[in-house]
Structure 1
Amino acid sequence: MNTYKTSEIAAAIGVHPNTVRLYEELGLIPKPQRLPNGYRVFTELHVEQFRLARLAFRVEVLQNGLRKKIVQMVKSAAAGNFSTALLLTQEYIAQIQQERANAEEAIQIVRQILSGTPQKNLHLFKRKEVSEYLGISMDTLRNWEMNGLLAVRRRQNGYRVYTDKDLQRLKVIRSLRCANYSLEAILGLLSQLSQNPDVDIKAALNTPKADETIIAVCDRLLTSLSAAEENAKQMLCMLQGMKAANS
Structure 2
Amino acid sequence: MKTYSTSEVAKMVDLHPNTIRRYEEWNLIPEPLRKKNGYRIYNDFHVELIKTSRIAFQIEVLQSGLRESMRGIIKALANYKFDQARTLLDQYIVAVDQEIDRAEEAIHIVEYLLKGETKESSLSLKRREVAVYLGVTTDALRNWELNGLLTLKRNQNGYRIYKMEDLNRLKIIRTLRSAKYSLEAILRLLNFIDLSQVQDIRAVLNQPNPNEDIISACDSLIISLEKAKENTIGLKDNICQLQELSKMIERPTASH
TM-score, normalising length from structure 2?
0.88
Aligned to 1:31: 31
Secondary structure of the residue aligned to 1:226 is: helix
Q: Which SS does the other structure have where 1:124 is aligned?
A: coil
Check conservation: 2:44, 2:245, Cα contact below 8 A: no
Letter in 1 for 2:130: V
Deviation at 1:244, TM superposition (A): 4.6
Provide, for residues 119-138 of structure 1, a one-character-per-residue CA deviation record: whole Å limited to 9, x for no partner: 32332122232222222222
Residue in structure 1 matched with residue 10 of structure 2 by the alignment? 10
Where does structure 1 differ by over 6 angstroms across 4 or more consecutive aligned residues? none
- The match for 2:141 is 141
Give the Cα–Cα distance (whole angstroms) in 2 for the partners of residues 116 and 150 of structure 1: 18
**2:155 is matched with which residue?**
155
Q: Which amino acid aligns with 2:13?
A: I
Moved more, 119-128 or 15-24: 119-128
Q: How many angstroms apart in 1 are the aligned matches of 2:158 and 2:122?
A: 20
1: CA distance, partners of 2:159 / 2:118: 26
Tell me the distance in 2 between the aligned counterparts of 1:128 and 1:142.
11
C-alpha spacing 1:61/1:198, structure 2 compared with 1 (3 Å): closer
Task: Measure, in 1, the Cα distance between the counterparts of 2:70 and 2:138.
Answer: 25
Report the 3-state secondary structure (helix = DSSP H, G, I; strand = E; otherwise coil) of the residue aligned with 1:58.
coil
**One-letter identity of the residue aligned with 2:57:** F
**Equivalent position of 2:181 in the other structure:** 181
The one-letter code of the counterpart of 1:43 is N
- Cα distance in 1 for partners of 2:56, 2:208 equals 24
Task: Within 5 Å, give how 1:199-238 maps onto structure 2.
Answer: 199-210=199-210, 213=212, 216-217=214-215, 219=218, 220-238=220-238
Secondary structure of the corresponding residue to residue 61 of structure 1: coil
- Equivalents in 2 of 1:197, 1:119: separation in Å? 21
CA distance in structure 1 between the partners assigned to 2:120 and 2:215 by the alignment: 31
Deviation by residue 1:174-222 (Cα, 9 ceiling, x = unmatched): 10011101112211110123334452111211122335x3x74454111
Cα distance in 2 for partners of 1:38, 1:112 equals 64
Letter in 1 for 2:73: M
Aligned-pair CA distance for 1:82 = 2.1
Structure with the larger RCO, 1 or 2 (CA within 8 Å, 6+ apart): 2
Which residue identity does 2:35 align to in structure 1?
A: L
User: In the aligned structure 1, how far is the partner of 2:82 from the partner of 2:139?
Assistant: 35
Paired residue for 2:101?
101
2-structure distance, mates of 1:96, 1:77: 20
Query: Superposition RMSD on alpha carbons, in Å?
Result: 1.9
TM alignment of 1:55-66, pairs within 5 A: 55-66=55-66
Change (3 A) 1:195 1:157: closer
Deviation by residue 1:215-244 (Cα, 9 ceiling, x = unmatched): 744541111111111112321221133235
CA distance in 2, matches of 1:53, 1:159: 47
Matched-pair contact (CA < 8 Å) for 2:30–2:46: yes
Contact map agreement 1:182 1:217 (CA 8 A) in 2: yes
Contact 1:193-1:199 at 8 Å conserved across structures? no
CA contact (8 A) 2:100 2:222 kept: yes
Relative to total residues, which structure has the larger helix share, 1 or 2? 1
Q: Distance in 1 between matches of 2:223 and 2:75?
A: 26
Distance 1:115 1:166, change over 3 A: same
CA separation in 1, counterparts of 2:196 and 2:28?
46
